[in-house]
Structure 1
Amino acid sequence: MTDLEERVRVQVPAPVRKSRHIALVLLGAVIILALSYVLPPFRNYQLATVGAYLCVTAGLTVLTGLNGQLSLGHGALMAVGAYTLALTQNSLAGNGLGQWTLLVAVLAAIVVTTVAGAVVGLAAARLRGPYLAGLTLAVAVVVPAITSTWDGTFNSDQGLSVAVDPPPVALGYDFPYERWQAWLTWAGALLTLLLLANLVRSRFGRDLTAVRDDETAARLAGVNVARTQVLAFVVSAACAGLGGALIAVLSQSVSPGAFPLALSLFLLMAIVIGGLGRLSGALWGAVLLVVLPAVTHSITDSIDVSPALAQRLEGNLPLAIFGVVLIVVMLAFPGGIASLPSRIRRRRR
């Protein structure tokens, strides 16, 4: 992007930007609605999974891409949101609230994960580089251990089932459940994108990038560096909690095995491949998180190997494929997949 284009983008009035964001979200809602009627049930489930992951990758983009804080523990934050939803949903099941029960459970998951993110963010604001990565890595290790320690509440490695109500009767008794799942997750994803898009274009968004580029210069310019970093972690944690809660709704169960350390690595690689610092890159990253494991499963099914070797491939091949894709993308277009349209436009000019 040239300096002139950057100045024009910054000078766009806030109401115009917000109207543009709302228009894009409405367009996205129309596309998702149309796809949900065209796709078969399993593809609708995959579409719903992309929406759930998009909440997480968008929040991680704000934290790592715009603020420069490396997190290896977002899988654990997703687990916090998922377990909170499961406990809240199961405790409120059968109380007559109907579909409102799910909304209360999702809000509870966001609040609890936000508090957890604030605690981690307060510690992370004092750390840099590998020390920050080590702290978030410790979070990814500690959270699964908590579920084993209090197995009476979290049911240890077996996890918890999630009681989810069927689609509203107003949609029809034969309304496909997978379509309803896609609507739920993408409602959360599109709302998250709208809020984050307005946030990163605000003064707070400029503070995020200022702290990322040069903390000393940002401090001299009057930016509260520590507060900005903590708020970035809080925002990202809230998005991770929403994504984890939606994943629990989709799978209707929660267990420590669903949120391993590898998930945090996949999330980080996904936003880098998609385009670090771009919300459109977060969308590409969410798509990769769903597509690449499906490709891996197809590869292992097509290879005639022993069951033990197939199981090992199933566990290690996705990480290898992600690594290869990461190398290829960084060599071909370092800005990620989201930078490809702008690169094509510049070459045409």
Structure 2
Amino acid sequence: MRTQISDDVLSSTSGPARRRRSLPPLIVHLLWAVLGLALVILLTLVTDPFTNLRMATVGYYLIAVAGLALLTGFNGQISLGHGAFMFIGAYTVALLVIHVPTFPLWLDLILAAVASGLAGALAGAAAARLKGPYLAGATLALAVGLPALTQRFPDFLGGSNGLNFTVNSTPDGLVGVVPPTRWQTWVVWLTVLIALVLLANLIRGRIGRSFRAVRDDEVSAALAGIHIGRTKILAFLVSAVCGGLAGGLQAFLLGTAAPGSFTVALSLSLLAAVVLGGLGSIWGALWGAIALVYFQAWSEDFADVLHLSTNVANNLPLAVYGVILIFVILVFPHGIQGGIQRLRALRGRSKRSEGES
């Protein structure tokens, strides 16, 4: 019966669907990226600047959450310090814009990703022998300690106020034609989608299989010839590169890099977004990033409508996000993306049942 059902499903598959599956993964990912960029451009054309800013915020959170999802979901390492890599990326971009203004933006972002990747490799080397709460504690110390450097070197890093700067990235031909916020949103999403294409191909390749093998069983992975420590360090490096790129994009978008933007709460929120969206899924990272931005925005709007006190209003987004996180985990233990896949599977089974009847 199982063979018959499989044959029926294969025979009912449309020609375009077969051709889509036969395309190389890189081409498929590029097509999704082009479609995503076109959708973002369309949305920015019909929305106001404030909504454009929120869309750009979803973009840089997406790449940060995707990097953490790779580390936690694909490699099985828990990190409570991902905000520290965003801190490195943001301050790298700020320092480069201020002290080396001749560098183009794309080079600033690449250097921010490289700086964060080096820090991630060092952190991964130190944490390669740690597991569970010990690894979580080590990464938490990273999230607490790095922003404190701004107080140690206030002349260089700006102290509590951080660094403020301006990036004039709009081409001369588009000045006055495309609003600055809209252009920034395009730049953020173009960068994020390019990074996601590279990340998706890495996950589907040999390196991604090594990540999953180490996550599932380190002993079996070692017997299969996989270097456990090197694989863990590489996962940390890639995750840190994503975090640094996200921090650099945030600095570019906001024109500032301040320690108050990279607190421990940010690292915890990123991890919660990974769990909420679904571990081990780039699509899950998208749902987690959207939730991270819009649940907080809706909570703030709700607090304004009710005229709540400042203390309540400041903590309401965290409370709402926590309640929604608990609800999703209870209903869909594998996150939003896991719930979507489950609903698709149920729908497919119901269609096959109808076909058999």
Query: TM-score under structure 2 normalisation?
Result: 0.89
| 1:214 has 2:217 as partner | yes
- Alpha-carbon distance, 1:121 to partner: 0.6
Aligned to 1:105: 108
User: Which residues of 2 match residues 1-349 of structure 1 at below 5 A?
Assistant: 16-93=24-101, 95=102, 101-305=104-308, 310-348=309-347, 349=349
- Alpha-carbon distance, 1:345 to partner: 2.1
Distance 2:310 2:199 in 1: 39
- Alpha-carbon distance, 1:174 to partner: 3.4
Does structure 1 retain, via aligned residues, the 8 Å contact 2:105–2:169? no
Q: How many residues align?
A: 334
Does structure 2 retain, via aligned residues, the 8 Å contact 1:60–1:236? yes
- Alpha-carbon distance, 1:129 to partner: 0.4
The answer for unaligned runs of 5 or more in structure 1 is none
Moved more, 316-325 or 116-125: 316-325
Distance 1:132 1:147 in 2: 25
Deviations 1:216-271 (A, max 9, x none): 11111111111010000000000000000011111111111011110001000001
Distance 2:316 2:21 in 1: 47
- Alpha-carbon distance, 1:314 to partner: 3.4
Deviations 1:9-57 (A, max 9, x none): xxx9996222211111111111111111111111111111111111101
Aligned to 2:353: none
The answer for unaligned runs of 5 or more in structure 2 is 11-19, 350-357
Give the partner amino acid of 2:55: L
Give the partner amino acid of 1:41: P
Deviations 1:38-78 (A, max 9, x none): 11111111111111111101111100110011011011110
**Structure of larger gyration radius:** 2
Does structure 2 retain, via aligned residues, the 8 Å contact 1:114–1:238? yes
Moved more, 242-251 or 27-36: 27-36
Moved more, 163-172 or 81-90: 163-172
- Report percent identity of matched pairs: 46
Give the partner amino acid of 1:333: F
Cα distance change, pair 200–166 in 1 and its aligned pair in 2 (3 A)? closer
Distance 2:165 2:287 in 1: 29
Give the partner amino acid of 1:173: G
Where 2:80 maps in the other structure, the secondary structure is coil
Give the partner amino acid of 2:301: S
Does structure 1 retain, via aligned residues, the 8 Å contact 2:120–2:241? yes
Deviations 1:309-334 (A, max 9, x none): x3222332222222111110011111
Distance 2:323 2:21 in 1: 42
- Alpha-carbon distance, 1:166 to partner: 4.7
